[in-house]
Each structure stands twice: as structure tokens, then as C-alpha cells.
Amino acid sequence: MNYFALLKGRTRALLTDFSSLAVIIIAVAVSIYISQYSGTENAKGIMIEVVNEDRGTLGERLTEILSYEEGYEFEVKTYDEAIKNLAGNKAQGIIEIAPDFSEKISRSEYESLVRVTVMADSYEMKTFTEMVINDAIKVWSEELVKKRIGEIEGATQDDIDEFCENTKDAWYTDGLLDIVSVMGKEDDTQKEETFFGIRWYAFFAMFYLCISGTWMCGYSSTGLLRRVTGRRGKISLLFAFQSLPGIVVSLLGFIPVLLTSAHPHPVKVFISFVIYICSSAAFALIICCISGKFSNLVLISPIATMVVSLFSGLLCELPDWAKVWDLTSVIVPGHWFYNAIFDKRYFAGAILVLAGWFMTGMFISWIFSKKKRSE
Amino acid sequence: MNPFSFVLYDIKRLFGHGKTAFIAMFSPIPVVLMFGLFMAPLLIDKGDAFYSVAILSEDDNNRVSQLMNIIIDYEVKTGNIAIYPVKERETGEKLVDDGKVAIFIYIPPNTYLDSMSGKKAVMEFYYSPTHAFDALVLYTGLKSSVSVFGQGIGVVDSGIQIAQKLGLSEDEILNIWNEGISDLLNLFIHRGRVIGKNGIFNFGADYHFRLVIAVLFATCSYLSSFPVIYLTSLDLSETFSKRSIPTKKLFGYYVARIISGAILIISSFLIMFPIARALRSIKINFALSVIPGIILTSFAFSALAVLLGSLFKRGQSALWAGLYFGTASIAAVSFLSDKADLPKVLSFLMRISPFRASVSIFSNAMFNFVAERYTFDLFILFCAFAIFSVAGFIIYRKRSAL
């Protein structure tokens, strides 16, 4: 049995299949982008319409304070214009300042001074409402202090004007009270770096192996398996040689991602990725056998890789309440790769999981092959 | 063959085409369930506390503790936050490290005096890495509130300087100062009321969750259209290219394919939607308003699938095109739709994207319902359906042997 001929044929097929090759190229580009720029991006340029219907002057002051908020672009419009822009997806939210905004503040009333309409168009809107409340509070605080000054005997408008001048920039400087966040320890590992670039590449690489595995779809049905066994070849070696080009392409794509991630232990992560990608190839074999044909594979691959990667914590951190997941995800290759990234023990577990998936893959492909033969 | 029979025949073909149609219908379930489990605490409106917080105040002056109480009191009452006072800093940090609580807030000695005497005072928000996702949402709200209070102290101080200039006695100034700080604290008590709500944090306003679930909905329904792409391409390259079919009959097949495709996509919605509703307890009136969006999305995606299937001679190429088009659309909606500084062409394409309209219609109709955006999105979906249908039929007709 000439396994190298199989390897050569598969390599040629893989390198000329630009459709699937594009997946890994895009994966490398996206992962490098994540490694380089994740965490540096804020809510840039989210458009918010401000409808100032206030009959007094404080609404204008609120608009001014709002305009200094970073990450948002504020436009003062009429209600009709604002709603038109919101409807047409040109804006993501509307802040309506009530007509009696100034009046209520001067009477120390606080009920419904501002109305906020937010469209769920962005992940960055989490604390948008808090920001609007804070800015309304700022206007209110100024007014309260002005009122106190006005109550002092002998105070004139000039004194209030002086106060306004002194406090003009008070809201744009650091406050005298602050709170800082400190991330706690977890098993003596400081996870200040998330390494999302590496983790997401692992997800993409598994998807690539699945989606480029049309040869495995036909693996059990086209007679390739039968021919190999007929020539006394070994199924495991056939699979190893056929899947090798995909593994090598994934590994080559991983190198720039790893280098740009600035991981402190690149060699360790690379070794763990080698084991991970081999396990992923076995996983892909199972997915492809179950799919049977490309039209099924194209549906199952994204779902299966997404679920498995989410399960193992590669796509995002597993929350604390998901302890059961954390325990059960030991059967998933991504779990051990995740451990390796964060400097935890991984080697024995990863090897066992690789062996387990490989055996399962062989068994399932054999079952499907038998089923096809009987049909 | 009457039109109904055309549709029935095509549905049989689509659903009878191996297991593809059933996979398309049922594949969203694991994704939605995984997502539901992942977001579990956010999805449960009532029940156990969402945040468990240990607090230690080493400041003798109770003003800062009072402020913290004001900020989180409403959330404690509503069960969103559970407070565990501790006596030592090490105990608080250990509770977080051991996973017993998610957050430890530490107020150092002289925090109040320092901030009042013009020296910056900093508190600490110690959180567990496993709670990073949710703890940082609380932190952002807390930080903005505390910072505004800190800036407010500066504003009160400016008022005091004017009072000093006006020659007030020390007692009078102290009185004004205390009143000023009380005013500030009072403002914080009523924070939420500014927008007509209670509390200071907007736990219900989980906009990121709404966006994610809407993106999942649209993505899964788009994936459900893949069998339509494949079968259309297969029909045109095999059956229709070998046989001459009159335009009228061809039109019948074409319409039947779009309708059966839409039925397949609606079926996947019928599976996804009750799960989403159960997970998030969406109100019935909001739930019903999604239905026109589901129908139009299904027709628009089905027409798009038939168009893609007609464009390519090989079924595999058509599926690849569908995969790339879908990925680009999902990525654009997920990462670009909120950006105001996009190039004009891209910004326009985003506005008219049927995928964006579909995502927007779900997030909007299921949660807050802005009628104007809803109407616009329906209009976009209808236009997309019309354009894809017309363009699709022209190519469909051209590709079949007449």
C-alpha cells in the first residue's frame, strides 16, 4: 500500500481547493487581528440622537456634558429627524430631554427627566443608560450648588457666574473618589492576557479541518476504505496520511498567530496545538462520517465546532456557574489546549483525549463503511 | 398541476432530500441551548442573587459606606446583589479566590476624609477571573457612579470657595459643605428615577444579550437555507438543463422552490423561537410582533438561496458562496453595524442588508419595539425578497434549457 501516493494526492487536492483554503487564510488574518487589537477598541462612533425639548436652559447644559462622553457621537435633532435616523439604522439611540427638565430640577423633582431609547445594535451599549443618568446628575448637582450659593446672604449673579466658570471643566477631570478593578488569582495563574487570537484560531482550525474534509464524507462510502483494506492496508495509516496535509496547513497558519500573540511559552503552546489539531482531525472524521455529504457537512461543521469550542472555553471564558461544563469538557480537545495556553497541566490529558477521539473516529468510520456496504 | 401541488411536490423533494433539511431545521437547537446555559444568570429575572459581593470598609467615617449602600441598596433589595460584610481584607480576597463570592469591595481608611480634603481616594474592586464577564458590567456601572460622586465633591468644593469669598464663618461653611454632600447623596438615591426607573443599574437592559440572540436567530435561519441553495443548483445543472420546460411551468417551479424554502426556514424558527422565549420570558405581545419578521426573513433568505443556487453550476460552489456571503454578513452585522465612521458605501450597504434588517427586527420586536425601525426593517426585507426573486428568476430561466 503506497501511503505516500495518498498523501501526495491529498496535498494536491487540498492546495488547489481555494474555497476551503480561504477559510484558513481568513482564520489567520482574523486571529492576528484579534491578537493585536483585542481590548484596545472602545465603542467608537456610536451615533446617538439628542432631542432637546427643554423649555429652560439646563437641557442645553446636559447636551454639552453629553458631548464630552467618549465613544459616542451626539447629534441634536428634532424628534422627527431623530426617529427617522433611528428607524433607518443611522443612529443607535435617542435621548429625549423632557420639556420640563429645567423646571423639575429647579423644583428638586427627579421623576422622568430624560427618556432613553436604545436599539440593541451594539455590544458596547451595556452601560449607556448609566452614562445618561450620570450626566443628568451632573447638571442637577451644579444646580443644587448654585441654589446653595444663591441662598448665601450677599451672593450676586457674578458669584454664580464665577462658580459656573470654575466648574466648567469639573466633569472632565478626575474625581476625588475612584474605584479600581483588580483581577483575583485563580490557581496561581494571572490571566491578564486572554490570548483570544490563539483560542479563536484553534476554533477556526477545527472548522477548517471539518469543512475541508469532504474526502472523509466519502471515506466510508466511495470504496476508498474497501480498496485499502482489500490491499491489506491499515485504516489508521490511511486516515493519518490523508489528514496530514490539512494538519500541516493548520500548523503553518498557527505560527504567525502564535508569534503575534506574544505568549510567554510559545514552544509549549505549539506542542499542545499539535496534539489539539490531531485530535481535531479525528473529530472532523466523525463529523464528516455522520454528515455523509457536503451539503450536510456545511450545516453541521459550523454548529459542531461552535458548540465544542464554546464548551471547552476557547470561544469565551466559561462562567463560574458552568463548573459542570468545565468538568465534562475534559473529553474535548479544546479543554487541554486551553489549559496549555494558561500554563496549566495538559500533556497527559491531551494525549489521552487524542487517543480517545482517534479510536472513536476509526470505529465510527468503520461502522459507516459497513453500513454502506450492506446498503 | 395546480400551484398548490407544485409547492407540495417541492416540499417533499426538499424534505426528502436526505437528512439535510432536518439537520437544517434542528441544528439551531444545540447552539441556542448552549447559549441559554451560558447566559443562564442573565436570563433569569428572579431567583438567587446575580452578584455575591464581600465588602470591607476600613473608613471610620460612614459617609462612603453610606454612598456604597445607596448605590447598591436597591439591587440588594431586588435580589440582584447579595452582600457579605467581612472583617479583614485577606478574608475578602480569599473568598473571591476560593470562588465563594464573585467580588470584594475594599474601602481603605480615610477614604472620605482624603476625598473631602482634596486628596484622591481610591477604593478597590477585587473580582474573580471566572466572573470577569459579569463582574466588569457591575464594575463599569459602579465606577461611573463613584467617579461622578468624586467629581461632584469638586463641584461642591468650588461652591465652598465662593462661600469663603463671601466671608462666611467656618461653621456656616461646614454647614453648607455638609448640606452639599447630603444633596449629592440624595441625588444618588434617586438616580434611576431620572429615566423613570428604580435602582442605578439597568439589569434588564441587556442590549448585548439582545443583539447576540438576534444574531443567532438570523444566522441559524440563514444556515437553514443551505439545502435550498444546494438543491436549486443541482436542479439547474442536472434536471432542467437536460429538458426543455416552458416559462410558465418554470415559473411555477421557481415560486414553489421559494415557498418551500421559506417553509423550511420558518420550521427552524418554530423550533428556535419557543426556546428563546422560554429562556428569556419574552412578553407575549413582543413575541407575536416577531412573527411578520420571521415570515419576511424566511422569504427573503429563501429567495437569496435560490438566487445563489442559480448562479453556480456546481452545488458545492453555490454552498461555498453561501457560506462566505453568510460569514461576511454575520461579521459585518456583529462588528460594524454600530459604527458611525464607516465609508459611505459600506454604511449604505449595511443599512440595506437583509441580514442586518433581520437581526434588527428580532432584537427590536422581541424586547423593546420601536415601531419606526420595525417598519423600516420590514420594508428592507420585502425589497430584498423582491429583488432576489426577480434577479433569481432571470438567471434561473437563463440557466434552464428553453
CA distances from A1 to A228, A237, B5, B332 (A): 7, 10, 54, 48
pLDDT at A189 over 50: no
Residue A162, classed as helix, strand or coil, is: helix
pLDDT band per the 50, 70, 90 thresholds, residue B47: very low
Closest-CA distance of chain A to residue B2, Å:
30
Please report the pLDDT score of residue B207 as a whole number.
67
Residue A166 and residue A251 in one domain: no
Q: Does A174 touch chain B (CB under 8 A)?
A: yes
pLDDT at A139 over 80: yes
Whether the CB-CB separation of A170 and B154 falls below 8 Å is answered with yes
Distance (Å, rounded) from C-alpha A207 to C-alpha B127?
A: 34
Whether the CB-CB separation of B377 and B360 falls below 8 Å is answered with yes
- The grid coordinates listed for A21 are 483554503
Nearest CA in chain B to A73: B340
Q: Tens digits of per-residue pLDDT, B180-225?
A: 777 777 777 777 778 877 665 554 456 677 788 788 888 888 888 8
A-contacting residues of B 296-315, CB under 8 Å?
Answer: 315
Distance (Å, rounded) from C-alpha B239 to C-alpha A375?
A: 26
Examine residue A241 and state whether it is found in any structural domain, yes or no: yes
Residue A214 and residue A341 in one domain: yes
Whether the CB-CB separation of A33 and A78 falls below 8 Å is answered with no
Closest partner CB to A176 (pick from B19, B150, B193)? B150
Closest-CA distance of chain A to residue B100, Å:
10
Helix, strand, coil share of chain A (percent; to 5): 65, 10, 25
Closest-CA distance of chain A to residue B254, Å:
21
CB contact under 8 A, A152 and B166: yes
CB contact under 8 A, B202 and A145: no
Q: What percent of chain B has pLDDT over 70?
A: 84
> Which range among A78-92, B24-38, B84-98, B239-253 shows the weakest confidence by mean pLDDT?
B24-38
Domain B46-195: top CATH class = alpha beta
- Say which residues have a Cβ less than 8 Å from residue A361's Cβ, sequence separation at least 6: A239, A282, A283, A285, A286, A289
Query: Residue B175, Cβ neighbours under 10 Å: how many?
Result: 13
Examine residue A253 and state whether it is found in any structural domain, yes or no: yes
Closest partner CB to B30 (pick from A134, A179, A303)? A303
Residue A223 and residue A322 in one domain: yes
pLDDT at B259 over 90: yes
Cα angle: B317, vertex B331, B320; to 5 degrees: 5
- Segment holding A180, helix H or strand E: strand A177-183
- The grid coordinates listed for B296 are 419576511
pTM: 0.78
Count of residues making up chain B:
402
Residue A86 and residue A23 in one domain: no
Distance (Å, rounded) from C-alpha A127 to C-alpha A312?
A: 29
pLDDT at A138 over 50: yes
Query: Residue A158, Cβ neighbours under 10 Å: how many?
Result: 9
- Average per-residue pLDDT for chain A: 82
Whether the CB-CB separation of A51 and A82 falls below 8 Å is answered with yes
Starting at the edge strand found earlier in the chain, the sheet holding A93-97 runs A72-76, A46-52, A93-97, A114-118
Distance (Å, rounded) from C-alpha A333 to C-alpha A25?
A: 22
Question: For position A105, which CATH number holds?
Answer: 3.40.190
Residue A107 and residue A204 in one domain: no
Whether the CB-CB separation of A123 and B133 falls below 8 Å is answered with no
Q: Tens digits of per-residue pLDDT, B107-161?
A: 888 888 888 777 888 999 998 876 666 677 778 778 877 888 888 888 888 888 8
Domain boundaries, chain B: 3-41+206-399, 46-195
Cβ neighbours of A316 in B, within 8 Å:
38, 133
Q: Does A302 touch chain B (CB under 8 A)?
A: yes
CA trace torsion A293, A294, A295, A301 (10° rounding): 110
Q: What is the DSSP letter of B225?
A: T
Query: Residue A272, Cβ neighbours under 10 Å: how many?
Result: 22
ipTM over 0.90: no
Query: Residue A307, Cβ neighbours under 10 Å: how many?
Result: 18
Examine residue A184 and state whether it is found in any structural domain, yes or no: no
Residue B52, classed as helix, strand or coil, is: strand
pLDDT band per the 50, 70, 90 thresholds, residue B226: confident
CA trace torsion B347, B350, B351, B354 (10° rounding): 170
- The grid coordinates listed for A353 are 483525549
Q: Which amino acid is at B366?
A: M
Residue the block writes with cell 466658570: A165
Nearest CA in chain A to B213: A120
Distance (Å, rounded) from C-alpha A104 to C-alpha A134?
A: 17
Give the mean pLDDT of A116-123: 80
Query: Residue A178, Cβ neighbours under 10 Å: how many?
Result: 17
Q: Which domain holds residue A127?
A: 46-172
Whether the CB-CB separation of B240 and B307 falls below 8 Å is answered with no
Q: What is the DSSP letter of B15?
A: H
Query: Could you tell me which of B383, B96, B16 has the C-alpha nearest to residue A182?
Result: B96
CB contact under 8 A, A306 and B31: yes
Give the mean pLDDT of A155-177: 82
Pairing outcome for strands B103-107 and B81-85: unpaired
Give the mean pLDDT of A62-67: 90
Distance (Å, rounded) from C-alpha B314 to C-alpha B294?
A: 30
Closest partner CB to A179 (pick from B23, B40, B142)? B142
Query: Could you tell me which of A290, A286, A334, A279 has the C-alpha nearest to residue A310?
Result: A334
> Which range among A43-47, A90-94, B55-59, B228-232 shows the weakest confidence by mean pLDDT?
A43-47
Residue A152 and residue A103 in one domain: yes
Examine residue A185 and state whether it is found in any structural domain, yes or no: no
Give the mean pLDDT of A45-70: 89
Residue A27 and residue A166 in one domain: no
Please report the pLDDT score of residue B296 as a whole number.
94
Query: Could you tell me which of A254, A249, A257 has the C-alpha nearest to residue A211?
Result: A249
Distance (Å, rounded) from C-alpha B282 to C-alpha B274?
A: 10
Whether the CB-CB separation of B228 and B261 falls below 8 Å is answered with yes
Please report the pLDDT score of residue B42 as a whole number.
54
Cβ neighbours of B327 in A, within 8 Å:
26
Give the mean pLDDT of B161-180: 80
Residue A204 and residue A267 in one domain: yes
Distance (Å, rounded) from C-alpha B267 to C-alpha B263?
A: 6
Distance (Å, rounded) from C-alpha A79 to C-alpha B3?
A: 48
Residue A120 and residue A221 in one domain: no
Q: Which amino acid is at A343?
A: D
Looking at per-residue confidence, does A216 or A278 come out higher?
A278
Query: Could you tell me which of B147, B124, B146, B68 has the C-alpha nearest to residue A180?
Result: B124
First to last CA, chain A: 27
Q: Tens digits of per-residue pLDDT, A2-16?
A: 778 878 888 888 788
Q: Does A191 touch chain B (CB under 8 A)?
A: yes
Number of domains within chain A: 2
User: Which residues on adjacent β-strands are paired with residue A177?
Assistant: B121
- Say which residues have a Cβ less than 8 Å from residue B236's Cβ, sequence separation at least 6: B309, B310, B313, B396, B399, B400
CB contact under 8 A, B120 and A184: no
Most distant CA pair in chain A, distance:
108
Distance (Å, rounded) from C-alpha A96 to C-alpha A132?
A: 11
Distance (Å, rounded) from C-alpha B226 to C-alpha B20?
A: 9
From the number of C-beta atoms within 10 Å of its C-beta (0-12, 13-18, 19+), residue B191 rates as buried
CA distances from A39 to A162, A341, B126 (A): 41, 18, 20
Q: Which of A298, A326, A338, A343 to mutate to test the interface with B (most CBs of B within 10 A)?
A: A298
Residue A263 and residue A325 in one domain: yes
User: Which residues on adjacent β-strands are paired with residue A188?
Assistant: none
Looking at per-residue confidence, does B363 or B203 come out higher?
B363
CB pairs under 8 A between A and B: 349
Q: Does B373 touch chain A (CB under 8 A)?
A: yes
Distance (Å, rounded) from C-alpha A216 to C-alpha A239?
A: 9
Residue A256 and residue A113 in one domain: no
Q: What is the DSSP letter of B367?
A: I
User: Which residues on adjacent β-strands are paired with residue A178?
Assistant: B122
- Say which residues have a Cβ less than 8 Å from residue B128's Cβ, sequence separation at least 6: A184, A186, A320, B96, B97, B99, B101, B102, B103, B135
Examine residue A188 and state whether it is found in any structural domain, yes or no: no
Residue A108, classed as helix, strand or coil, is: coil
Whether the CB-CB separation of B293 and B276 falls below 8 Å is answered with no
Whether the CB-CB separation of B351 and B333 falls below 8 Å is answered with no
Closest partner CB to B20 (pick from A167, A174, A295)? A295
Residue A249 and residue A275 in one domain: yes
Please report the pLDDT score of residue B372 as a whole number.
92
Residue B234, classed as helix, strand or coil, is: helix
